[in-house]
Chains A and B, each alone.
Chain A
Amino acid sequence: MRWYWVDKFIEFNSGVSARAVKNVSLSEEHMHDHFPGFPVMPASLMIEGMAQTGGILLGEKNDFVYNVILAKVPKVEFHSLACPGDQLIYSATLENASEEGGSVKVTATVEDRLVAEAEIVFVHLSSDDPQLSRIDQKNFVFRMNLLDILNVGKIDGDAESSATA
Protein backbone atom coordinates (compact mmCIF):
# COMPACT_ATOMS: atom_id res chain seq x y z
CA MET A 1 0.00 0.00 0.00
CA ARG A 2 1.24 3.46 -0.87
CA TRP A 3 1.51 5.68 2.13
CA TYR A 4 0.52 9.01 0.61
CA TRP A 5 -2.20 10.70 2.60
CA VAL A 6 -2.20 14.00 0.75
CA ASP A 7 -2.69 14.32 -2.98
CA LYS A 8 -0.89 17.57 -3.71
CA PHE A 9 0.28 20.84 -2.29
CA ILE A 10 -1.58 23.97 -3.31
CA GLU A 11 0.46 26.48 -1.34
CA PHE A 12 3.96 26.38 0.10
CA ASN A 13 5.58 29.23 2.00
CA SER A 14 8.98 27.85 2.92
CA GLY A 15 9.51 27.69 6.67
CA VAL A 16 6.14 29.31 7.38
CA SER A 17 3.06 27.47 6.15
CA ALA A 18 1.72 24.97 3.63
CA ARG A 19 -1.65 23.87 2.32
CA ALA A 20 -2.32 20.45 0.86
CA VAL A 21 -5.32 18.70 -0.63
CA LYS A 22 -6.70 15.25 0.14
CA ASN A 23 -9.55 14.14 -2.09
CA VAL A 24 -11.67 11.60 -0.29
CA SER A 25 -12.85 8.87 -2.66
CA LEU A 26 -15.12 5.86 -2.47
CA SER A 27 -12.57 3.98 -4.56
CA GLU A 28 -10.27 3.85 -1.54
CA GLU A 29 -10.40 0.32 -0.19
CA HIS A 30 -10.48 1.21 3.47
CA MET A 31 -13.62 3.32 3.11
CA HIS A 32 -15.65 0.13 2.66
CA ASP A 33 -14.59 -1.17 6.05
CA HIS A 34 -14.77 2.21 7.75
CA PHE A 35 -17.67 1.78 7.96
CA PRO A 36 -19.75 -0.73 6.00
CA GLY A 37 -22.63 1.27 4.54
CA PHE A 38 -21.32 4.49 6.10
CA PRO A 39 -18.01 5.46 4.51
CA VAL A 40 -16.08 8.18 6.35
CA MET A 41 -12.43 9.16 6.18
CA PRO A 42 -10.71 7.53 9.21
CA ALA A 43 -9.56 10.08 11.76
CA SER A 44 -6.21 8.34 12.13
CA LEU A 45 -5.50 8.81 8.42
CA MET A 46 -6.43 12.46 8.65
CA ILE A 47 -3.79 12.78 11.38
CA GLU A 48 -1.33 11.09 9.03
CA GLY A 49 -2.24 13.52 6.23
CA MET A 50 -1.88 16.49 8.57
CA ALA A 51 1.49 15.09 9.71
CA GLN A 52 2.67 14.63 6.13
CA THR A 53 1.70 18.21 5.31
CA GLY A 54 3.46 19.59 8.39
CA GLY A 55 6.39 17.17 8.19
CA ILE A 56 7.24 18.15 4.63
CA LEU A 57 6.93 21.82 5.64
CA LEU A 58 9.47 21.23 8.43
CA GLY A 59 11.72 19.01 6.31
CA GLU A 60 11.86 21.54 3.48
CA LYS A 61 12.98 24.28 5.86
CA ASN A 62 16.18 22.26 6.42
CA ASP A 63 16.54 21.17 2.79
CA PHE A 64 15.52 17.64 3.80
CA VAL A 65 18.81 16.91 5.52
CA TYR A 66 17.00 15.34 8.49
CA ASN A 67 14.65 12.40 8.72
CA VAL A 68 11.54 14.02 10.12
CA ILE A 69 9.67 11.67 12.40
CA LEU A 70 6.19 12.06 13.82
CA ALA A 71 6.86 11.97 17.55
CA LYS A 72 3.82 13.27 19.38
CA VAL A 73 0.34 14.59 18.83
CA PRO A 74 -0.22 16.72 21.95
CA LYS A 75 -3.66 17.80 20.78
CA VAL A 76 -6.16 16.72 18.17
CA GLU A 77 -9.86 17.51 17.93
CA PHE A 78 -12.36 16.30 15.38
CA HIS A 79 -15.37 18.49 14.73
CA SER A 80 -17.09 16.85 11.78
CA LEU A 81 -16.79 14.04 9.23
CA ALA A 82 -15.17 13.85 5.80
CA CYS A 83 -17.04 11.66 3.35
CA PRO A 84 -16.41 10.45 -0.24
CA GLY A 85 -16.47 13.41 -2.61
CA ASP A 86 -15.20 15.81 0.01
CA GLN A 87 -12.00 17.69 -0.58
CA LEU A 88 -10.00 18.04 2.61
CA ILE A 89 -7.60 20.96 2.83
CA TYR A 90 -4.83 20.55 5.38
CA SER A 91 -3.40 23.94 6.40
CA ALA A 92 -0.20 23.72 8.41
CA THR A 93 1.78 26.47 10.10
CA LEU A 94 5.25 25.92 11.47
CA GLU A 95 5.24 26.84 15.17
CA ASN A 96 8.77 25.80 16.15
CA ALA A 97 11.82 24.54 14.36
CA SER A 98 15.16 23.66 15.86
CA GLU A 99 18.06 21.32 15.28
CA GLU A 100 16.25 18.67 17.33
CA GLY A 101 12.86 18.84 15.62
CA GLY A 102 9.84 21.05 15.24
CA SER A 103 6.13 21.47 15.78
CA VAL A 104 3.18 22.49 13.65
CA LYS A 105 -0.45 23.45 14.01
CA VAL A 106 -2.71 22.02 11.34
CA THR A 107 -6.37 22.36 10.49
CA ALA A 108 -8.42 20.16 8.19
CA THR A 109 -11.34 21.80 6.43
CA VAL A 110 -13.88 20.91 3.76
CA GLU A 111 -14.87 24.20 2.12
CA ASP A 112 -15.73 26.43 5.12
CA ARG A 113 -16.36 23.55 7.48
CA LEU A 114 -13.74 22.73 10.14
CA VAL A 115 -13.21 18.97 10.26
CA ALA A 116 -10.19 18.66 12.54
CA GLU A 117 -7.40 20.58 14.19
CA ALA A 118 -4.15 19.27 15.61
CA GLU A 119 -0.80 20.11 17.08
CA ILE A 120 1.99 17.78 15.98
CA VAL A 121 5.57 17.48 17.22
CA PHE A 122 8.35 15.99 15.09
CA VAL A 123 11.91 14.98 15.92
CA HIS A 124 14.90 14.86 13.63
CA LEU A 125 17.01 11.75 13.36
CA SER A 126 20.09 11.61 11.19
CA SER A 127 20.31 8.66 8.82
CA ASP A 128 23.05 7.00 10.87
CA ASP A 129 21.18 7.26 14.18
CA PRO A 130 20.86 3.76 15.67
CA GLN A 131 17.31 4.60 16.75
CA LEU A 132 16.29 4.90 13.13
CA SER A 133 16.64 1.17 12.48
CA ARG A 134 14.08 0.47 15.18
CA ILE A 135 11.41 2.49 13.41
CA ASP A 136 9.09 1.19 10.77
CA GLN A 137 10.25 3.56 8.08
CA LYS A 138 7.30 3.07 5.80
CA ASN A 139 4.92 4.53 8.28
CA PHE A 140 6.86 6.98 10.33
CA VAL A 141 9.68 8.53 8.39
CA PHE A 142 9.25 11.15 5.75
CA ARG A 143 11.47 9.53 3.20
CA MET A 144 12.40 11.10 -0.05
CA ASN A 145 9.78 9.20 -2.07
CA LEU A 146 7.07 10.96 -0.07
CA LEU A 147 8.38 14.17 -1.56
CA ASP A 148 6.89 13.06 -4.87
CA ILE A 149 3.80 14.81 -3.55
CA LEU A 150 5.55 18.13 -4.07
CA ASN A 151 5.70 17.40 -7.79
CA VAL A 152 2.06 16.41 -8.25
CA GLY A 153 0.41 18.64 -10.85
CA LYS A 154 3.73 19.96 -12.07
CA ILE A 155 4.53 18.99 -15.64
CA ASP A 156 7.47 21.00 -16.78
CA GLY A 157 6.96 22.98 -13.65
CA ASP A 158 3.39 24.08 -14.21
CA ALA A 159 0.46 21.84 -15.06
CA GLU A 160 -1.99 24.60 -15.89
CA SER A 161 0.16 26.35 -18.46
CA SER A 162 0.99 22.98 -20.05
CA ALA A 163 -2.70 22.10 -20.25
CA THR A 164 -3.65 25.35 -21.90
CA ALA A 165 -0.67 25.46 -24.23
Chain B
Amino acid sequence: MASSEEIFEKVQETLVDALGVDDDEVTSEATLIDDLGAESIDFLDIVFRLEKNFDIKIPRGELFPENLANADSGFVADGKVTEDGIAQLREKMPHADVDKFAEDPQVSKMSDMFTVDMICKFTASRLG
Protein backbone atom coordinates (compact mmCIF):
# COMPACT_ATOMS: atom_id res chain seq x y z
CA MET B 1 0.00 0.00 0.00
CA ALA B 2 1.24 3.47 -0.89
CA SER B 3 2.19 5.79 1.96
CA SER B 4 0.30 9.04 2.41
CA GLU B 5 3.38 10.95 1.19
CA GLU B 6 3.45 8.90 -1.98
CA ILE B 7 -0.25 9.48 -2.54
CA PHE B 8 0.14 13.22 -1.94
CA GLU B 9 3.02 13.46 -4.40
CA LYS B 10 1.05 11.67 -7.08
CA VAL B 11 -2.07 13.75 -6.43
CA GLN B 12 0.11 16.86 -6.60
CA GLU B 13 1.51 15.77 -9.96
CA THR B 14 -2.02 15.01 -11.19
CA LEU B 15 -3.24 18.50 -10.28
CA VAL B 16 -0.17 20.20 -11.75
CA ASP B 17 -0.94 18.47 -15.07
CA ALA B 18 -4.71 19.01 -14.97
CA LEU B 19 -4.78 22.60 -13.77
CA GLY B 20 -1.48 24.00 -15.04
CA VAL B 21 -0.47 25.17 -11.56
CA ASP B 22 2.97 25.04 -9.92
CA ASP B 23 3.66 22.18 -7.56
CA ASP B 24 4.27 24.50 -4.62
CA GLU B 25 0.71 25.83 -5.01
CA VAL B 26 -0.68 22.34 -4.49
CA THR B 27 -0.57 22.19 -0.70
CA SER B 28 -2.65 19.79 1.32
CA GLU B 29 -5.07 22.53 2.42
CA ALA B 30 -5.43 24.21 -0.99
CA THR B 31 -9.00 24.38 -2.30
CA LEU B 32 -9.44 23.27 -5.88
CA ILE B 33 -11.69 26.11 -7.01
CA ASP B 34 -10.57 29.17 -5.02
CA ASP B 35 -6.87 28.43 -4.62
CA LEU B 36 -6.09 26.38 -7.72
CA GLY B 37 -8.61 27.92 -10.13
CA ALA B 38 -10.36 24.69 -11.11
CA GLU B 39 -13.50 24.99 -13.23
CA SER B 40 -16.28 22.45 -13.63
CA ILE B 41 -14.73 20.73 -16.63
CA ASP B 42 -11.46 20.30 -14.73
CA PHE B 43 -13.18 17.90 -12.33
CA LEU B 44 -13.71 15.37 -15.11
CA ASP B 45 -10.10 15.79 -16.22
CA ILE B 46 -8.91 15.28 -12.62
CA VAL B 47 -11.00 12.10 -12.28
CA PHE B 48 -9.58 10.72 -15.55
CA ARG B 49 -6.01 11.43 -14.47
CA LEU B 50 -6.48 9.94 -10.98
CA GLU B 51 -7.92 6.79 -12.53
CA LYS B 52 -4.91 6.49 -14.79
CA ASN B 53 -2.20 7.49 -12.31
CA PHE B 54 -3.48 5.27 -9.49
CA ASP B 55 -5.05 2.53 -11.62
CA ILE B 56 -8.39 2.88 -9.83
CA LYS B 57 -12.00 3.28 -10.98
CA ILE B 58 -13.93 6.30 -9.77
CA PRO B 59 -17.66 5.94 -10.44
CA ARG B 60 -19.51 9.09 -11.45
CA GLY B 61 -20.31 11.39 -8.53
CA GLU B 62 -18.23 9.58 -5.90
CA LEU B 63 -15.30 11.95 -5.65
CA PHE B 64 -17.22 15.09 -6.57
CA PRO B 65 -20.91 14.51 -5.77
CA GLU B 66 -23.36 16.27 -8.05
CA ASN B 67 -26.61 18.08 -7.34
CA LEU B 68 -26.24 18.04 -3.55
CA ALA B 69 -26.97 21.73 -3.22
CA ASN B 70 -29.56 22.21 -5.92
CA ALA B 71 -32.52 24.34 -4.91
CA ASP B 72 -34.83 21.34 -5.32
CA SER B 73 -32.60 18.94 -3.39
CA GLY B 74 -34.49 19.68 -0.17
CA PHE B 75 -31.19 20.17 1.63
CA VAL B 76 -30.96 23.93 1.31
CA ALA B 77 -32.81 26.66 3.22
CA ASP B 78 -31.96 30.37 3.31
CA GLY B 79 -28.73 29.82 1.46
CA LYS B 80 -27.55 27.28 4.02
CA VAL B 81 -27.31 23.52 3.94
CA THR B 82 -29.83 22.00 6.36
CA GLU B 83 -29.03 19.41 9.01
CA ASP B 84 -30.41 16.71 6.76
CA GLY B 85 -28.15 18.03 4.05
CA ILE B 86 -25.13 17.88 6.34
CA ALA B 87 -26.01 14.29 7.20
CA GLN B 88 -26.23 13.57 3.49
CA LEU B 89 -22.81 15.16 2.93
CA ARG B 90 -21.26 13.02 5.66
CA GLU B 91 -22.64 9.94 3.97
CA LYS B 92 -21.70 10.88 0.41
CA MET B 93 -18.40 12.60 1.15
CA PRO B 94 -16.72 10.70 3.98
CA HIS B 95 -13.40 11.85 2.52
CA ALA B 96 -14.24 15.56 3.01
CA ASP B 97 -13.94 17.73 6.11
CA VAL B 98 -17.70 18.06 6.63
CA ASP B 99 -17.22 19.05 10.31
CA LYS B 100 -15.45 22.22 9.32
CA PHE B 101 -18.10 23.06 6.73
CA ALA B 102 -20.90 22.37 9.25
CA GLU B 103 -19.65 25.23 11.44
CA ASP B 104 -20.94 27.71 8.83
CA PRO B 105 -22.83 25.67 6.24
CA GLN B 106 -23.40 28.32 3.59
CA VAL B 107 -24.03 26.85 0.16
CA SER B 108 -21.56 29.33 -1.33
CA LYS B 109 -18.81 27.79 0.82
CA MET B 110 -19.47 24.20 -0.18
CA SER B 111 -16.69 24.27 -2.72
CA ASP B 112 -14.22 24.88 0.13
CA MET B 113 -14.64 21.20 0.99
CA PHE B 114 -12.99 20.28 -2.30
CA THR B 115 -9.40 20.34 -1.15
CA VAL B 116 -6.21 18.56 -2.14
CA ASP B 117 -6.41 16.69 1.15
CA MET B 118 -9.92 15.50 0.25
CA ILE B 119 -8.60 13.96 -2.97
CA CYS B 120 -5.72 12.31 -1.09
CA LYS B 121 -8.09 10.77 1.47
CA PHE B 122 -10.47 9.58 -1.24
CA THR B 123 -7.62 8.04 -3.20
CA ALA B 124 -6.17 6.36 -0.09
CA SER B 125 -9.59 4.81 0.64
CA ARG B 126 -9.71 3.44 -2.92
CA LEU B 127 -6.24 1.98 -2.67
CA GLY B 128 -7.33 0.24 0.52
Contact = CB atoms under 8 A, between A and B. Distances in A.
B60 A96 contact: no
B52 A100 contact: no
17 contacts: A71-B44, A72-B42, A72-B45, A74-B17, A74-B20, A75-B17, A95-B48, A95-B52, A96-B48, A98-B47, A99-B60, A100-B60, A102-B48, A103-B48, A121-B45, A123-B41, A123-B44
Q: Is the interface of A mostly helix, strand, loop or mixed?
A: strand
Contacts, number: 31
B19 to A, nearest CB: 8
A49 interface: no
Interface in B19-65: 20, 41-42, 44-45, 47-48, 51-52, 60
Q: Is the interface of B mostly helix, strand, loop or mixed?
A: helix
B41 A71 contact: yes
A101 interface: yes
A121 B51 CA distance: 14
Given A96-B52, A98-B60, A121 B20 contact: no
B18 interface: yes
Interface residues of B, number: 12
Nearest to A121: B45
Contacts of A74: 17-18, 20, 45
A72 B41 contact: yes
A24 to B, nearest CB: 29
Nearest to A122: B44
A121 B60 contact: no
B59 to A, nearest CB: 9
Contacts of A101: 44
Contacts of B52: 95-96
